[in-house]
Amino acid sequence: MIKLIKLFTDAATKGNPGTSTAGILIIKDGKQFQYAVSLPDSSNHTAEFLAALTGFQYVEKLFGNTETLMFFSDSRIVTESIDKNYSKKYNDLLMQLAALQAKFPLVITQWIPEKENHGAHTLATQKLHSILKK
């Protein structure tokens, strides 16, 4: 039986660049692990890459890197950059992400519509709202 971890990430940003947060949802063996984290002030696209990087770091810390990973994002720039292994503007972040992904035996990246990324989206927006209220 193939062991599989599902990773969903999303970013929320107020301003361009501005306050940014990430929502990370990890599902393993039917259990959910939810994280809402602050990111450096950035543009939305940069925040999406940072959210993905942070998500992979959390998976590696929690479970190591010996299992197949399904990675879901509603960011076309992130998923298409991974598929092409190229990004003109975000190449440094893409290379960092590729290095993290290379540690796993198999990573399957899938773009999903925002409505299917509700868990990570909610975590990111709740964290952003809590920061902006302060």
Q: What is the pLDDT of residue 134?
A: 74
Which residues in the chain show pLDDT less than 50? none
1 to each of 4, 31, 59, 67, 68, how far by Cα in Å?
Answer: 9, 18, 20, 11, 11
The β-bridge partners of 37 are 22
Q: Are 56 and 70 in contact (CB under 8 A)?
A: no
Q: What is the pLDDT of residue 3?
A: 77
Condensed to tens digits (0 to 9), the pLDDT of residues 107-127 reads 999 999 999 999 999 999 999
Global model pTM greater than 0.85: yes
User: Could you tell me whether strands 4-15 and 68-73 are parallel, antiparallel, or unpaired per DSSP bridges?
Assistant: parallel
72 CB burial (10 A radius; 0-12, 13-18, 19+): buried
Domain count within the chain: 1
Q: What residue numbers bound the domain in which 58 lies?
A: 4-133
Q: Could you tell me what percent of the chain has a pLDDT over 90?
A: 96
Q: What is the pLDDT of residue 27?
A: 97
Task: CATH number of the domain at 68, please.
Answer: 3.30.420.10
